[in-house]
Amino acid sequence: MSTTTNNLAFTCKQSLTHLIDSAIYIAIYSFALFVVLSYFTIWLFFRILHLVFDVATFQFSELFSFTNIFDVTLIIIIALIVLCIYELNYWVKNYKRLKFMVENCREDMINSLSNPSMLLL
């Protein structure tokens, strides 16, 4: 196997590792976004229940008494969405790069098989 093929294989492996890492980060950020959105939905439900029906909200008033929770939650949601978009963009770039490398590797292997003298390099 030639040095170029070894370098190409190493680069493909490295790109695949980055691809997997990005997919894991996307999953983590998506899960965090789901948790924050769930918490926000529950908070909003009890807040509306408290405002509309003027009930004690089942002793949740102490839990949700923080007045700026709406702003803080929106900032967290926006930050998580930005992180997800950034990682998704990085993942797409790595996927395209890996796909391009695999196609080049395939062409190199076909060329080396069609020309036996290239196998010695």
Whether 59 has a pLDDT exceeding 80, the answer reads no
Whether 19 has a pLDDT exceeding 70, the answer reads yes
Cβ(83)–Cβ(31) below 8 Å: no
Residues with Cβ within 8 Å of 81's Cβ and at least 6 positions away in sequence, in order, are: 33
pLDDT at res. 28 = 84
Whether 38 has a pLDDT exceeding 80, the answer reads yes
pLDDT at res. 56 = 52
Cβ(39)–Cβ(72) below 8 Å: no
SS3 content of the chain, % helix, strand, coil (to 5): 85, 0, 15
Dist CA 46 CA 57 (whole Å):
6
Please state the φ and ψ torsions of residue 115, each to the nearest 5 degrees: -125, 95
Tokens of 83: 């992180």
pTM above 0.85, yes or no: no
Residues with Cβ within 8 Å of 58's Cβ and at least 6 positions away in sequence, in order, are: 46
pLDDT tens, position by position, 87-113: 888 778 877 777 777 777 666 666 666
Question: Average of pLDDT values for 37-41?
Answer: 81
Please state the φ and ψ torsions of residue 62, each to the nearest 5 degrees: -70, -35
